[in-house]
Amino acid sequence: MSVQLDQVKQKARRVFRITMWSALVAGLLFAAGYYIYRTYTISEGSRTGILYKVSKKGVMFKTYEGQLLLAGSVMMTQQSTWDFSAQNGKVYEDLQKLEGKTIKCHYRQKVDAFTWQGDTDYIVYKVELAQ
């Protein structure tokens, strides 16, 4: 009787171990897939306009946000402004130097940016003064 009980215990341990390893691998694959999905670039391009707002904000995650009055717009409306997030501190510093000027922002649009990447899905990685 004790031999059967020991075999059942060993089999139960083996099934538990296989289940736990399978759950761990499945969790890691899901996490990797989710990360790739959230950071996937669906659009890449540039926008030109007057930079009228740039800020560092956030409670837990500090992000760099900006607004551009798009070129050709006479009045400031919801359709004539473009909200974006800066990729890092260096881009933010470049934006601060160019505030109030006509600039060209090179961006990547993410499917759904993570909270620590910014408030928008448009991540500006390079900025230059427009001619």
Q: Which residues, 6+ apart, have CB-to-CB distance to 77 below 8 Å?
A: none
pLDDT tier at 4, thresholds 50, 70, 90: confident
Q: Which residues, 6+ apart, have CB-to-CB distance to 121 below 8 Å?
A: 109, 110, 111, 112, 113
Which residue do the tokens 């959230």 mark?
A: 38
Domain 41-129, CATH:
2.40.50.140
Widest Cα–Cα separation across the chain: 89
Q: How far apart are CA 64 and CA 51, in angstroms?
A: 14
The residue extents of the domains of the chain are 1-38, 41-129
Distance of CA 87 to the CA centre of its chain: 9
Q: Is the pLDDT of residue 59 over 90?
A: no
Segment of 25-29, 45-49, 54-58 carrying the highest mean pLDDT: 25-29
Predicted local distance difference test score (pLDDT) of residue 85 = 94
Mean pLDDT value of segment 59-68: 90
Q: What is the mean pLDDT of the chain?
A: 89
What predicted TM-score, i.e. pTM, was given to this entire model? Answer: 0.76
